[in-house]
A and B are shown apart, each in its own frame.
Chain A
């Protein structure tokens, strides 16, 4: 039994290899890009857009609203990154209904890669938002004693992000595989449906957590009226997810 699509290698040359993870990622990229291109090729600014355009508009504006809900003031700055994160993970989860498909997000390599992008994006947006000094000072809040804990927190949440997604997606695939061997017909269908739901929830959680981390980094400290400063609390999504 394979735990990860990484283990399905189509071609290898030294360290370079083409495994199922990369291949299905490319396929997903192709589907997303070509699908978007096909739909957005005939965009209209009329009052009555086409159904596909309406769908994409709903998706995009929905993501935008979610980002804004998290507390990011200018959602369009983060839309490219966070939106793509959600769409990629969600599409990867939705495609699990296709026979023979191996979700790239069931590979820890993919989830680690995504978590690493978040790990990079958080300081990137943080520094863009409040400058290098401001961002670095946020590690010493409320006191410099918290510096190591903040660093550990940064690293651990990245790891948690990666493992959470991997665990959920992989487990879904694993459970499905096991159930197929035990009860080949009816039950896997139910589990697949459940897996779709789980996959979408995970996509949402992954994107929202990334947004929360970015939000925490971009608006870490702002002086209030009393001259004191308090870190603004991002919404308590993380606790819920961990729970």
Chain B
């Protein structure tokens, strides 16, 4: 008999036992290990996915912040550049204005200085020239010269006519104080009488007079009443000369001033407005005009 039923049963039991043993020692542990590994791999992959997503988000955030930073930086640098440029312009304008003002001031100062210098020089020269002239004439003035001057004055008084004569007559008439006759030297009584007489005759009235000596006249006689003046003196000539010289100096300075270069360096050459020399008073001018 090929089939031994006890062996059959025993083998069936053995097989059942083997199934249990294999389940216990093989399938379960192996399947568990595989499941765990799968779970682990899945977890690692999920973690990697999460990290990748997170990294992506962080990268996006970083990119966004970077772009924002760039924009902000550009905006700020533009603003700073603008502010710096404006400040630079302002400082430049201020500096330019200061430089201009300084330049103008310097120019003005130089002009003023030059003018003062010119004036001083002109006056000094004028004064020296006239002082010399006056001294020479004073030295030359003698009694005979004084007499001659007196004669010339009287002659001129007599020759006086027209508007000048009317004005002087009006002045003499309106003046309550005696008319002033000034001379360098004391006039003699004859001279005084001659002058009195000439006045009385010329203006057909009695003209009260008072006599004074004035060295300023250098040499000559001068009649003044209520602002009007008539006279003949070398001082008048000298004043007239001084005026002419002053005018000439003034003209020269003006022409130099108008030709002035505007640049700073050229200012060193300096030309100033005409220095005004001591001008004769209007009355004196009139007297000179009348006298000459």
Interface residues of A, Cβ cutoff 8 Å to B: 3-4, 6, 15-17, 19, 21-22, 25-26, 29, 32-33, 36-37, 40, 43-47, 49, 53, 56-57, 60-61, 76, 79-81, 83-85, 87-88, 104, 107-110, 112-114, 116-117, 166
CB distance from B279 to the nearest CB of A (A): 122
| In the assembled complex, B140 has its CB within 8 A of some CB on chain A | no
Whether B27 pairs with A60 at a CB distance below 8 angstroms is: yes
Is there an interface contact between A36 and B19, defined as CB atoms closer than 8 Å? no
- Mark out the residues of chain B between 256 and 280 whose CB falls within 8 Å of any chain A CB in the assembled complex: none
Contact residues in A for B23 (Cβ distance below 8 Å): 80, 84
A15, A29, A43, A56: the one within 8 Å of B21 (CB): A29
Is A43 touching B30 in the complex (CB atoms < 8 A)?
A: yes
CB contacts (< 8 Å) of A44 on chain B: these are 33
B7 touches A22 (CB 8 A): yes
Complex-state Cα separation, A26 to B13, whole angstroms: 11
B109 contacts partner chain A, Cβ-Cβ < 8 Å: no
- Quick check: A113 and B12 within 8 Å, CB to CB? yes
- Report whether B11 and A25 are in contact in the complex, using a CB–CB cutoff of 8 Å: yes
Interface of A is mostly: helix
Q: Which residue from chain A places its CB closest to the CB of B41 in the assembled complex? A: A47
Q: Is the CB of A19 within 8 A of B7?
A: yes
Is A88 in contact with B26, judged by CB distance below 8 angstroms?
Answer: no
With A21-B11, A29-B18, A112-B8 given, is the CB distance from A36 to B25 under 8 Å?
yes
A84 to chain B, nearest CB (A): 5
Whether A43 pairs with B33 at a CB distance below 8 angstroms is yes
- Nearest CB to that of B39 among chain A residues? A45
Q: Which of A4, A40, A85 meets B26, CB within 8 Å?
A: A40
Instruction: Determine whether the beta carbon of A76 is less than 8 Å from that of B22.
Output: no
> Which B residue sits closest to A20, measured CB to CB?
B7
**Chain A contacts for B85, CB-based, 8 A:** none
CA distance A57 to B33 in the complex (A): 9
Those of B4-39 within 8 Å (CB) of chain A: 4-12, 14-19, 21-23, 25-27, 29-34, 36-37
Whether the Cβ atoms of A4 and B2 lie closer than 8 Å is yes
**A191 to nearest B CB, angstroms?**
23
Task: Report Cα–Cα, A3/B32, bound state, in Å.
Answer: 43
With an 8 A cutoff between CB atoms, is B40 at the interface?
A: yes
Cβ < 8 Å to A, chain B residues 110-148: none
Kindly identify which residue among A17, A37, A109 contacts B8, using a CB–CB cutoff of 8 Å.
Answer: A109
Interface centre among A40, A61, A104 (most CB of B within 10 A): A40
Name the B residues within 8 Å of A21 (CB-CB): 4, 7, 11
Establish whether residues A107 and B25, one from each chain, have CB atoms under 8 Å apart when the complex forms. Answer: no
Q: Is the CB of B27 within 8 A of A80?
A: yes
- Please state if A45 and B40 are interface contacts (CB–CB under 8 Å): yes
- A84 touching B29 by the CB < 8 A rule? no
A4 to B5, CA, bound (A): 13
Task: Select B4's contact among A19, A45, A83, beta carbons within 8 Å.
Answer: A19
Residue of A26, A36, A81 contacting most chain B CB atoms (<10 Å):
A36
Partner of A15, one of B6, B19, B31, B34: B6
Which of B3, B4, B29 neighbours the largest number of chain A CB atoms within 10 Å of its CB? B4
- Show 7 A/B contacts (Cβ-Cβ < 8 Å), sorted by A: A45-B36, A46-B37, A60-B34, A84-B15, A84-B18, A108-B3, A117-B16
> Could you tell me if B11 and A114 are in contact, using CB atoms closer than 8 angstroms?
yes
Determine the residue in chain B with the shortest Cβ distance to A43: B33
Assess the A40–B29 pair: CB atoms within 8 A: yes
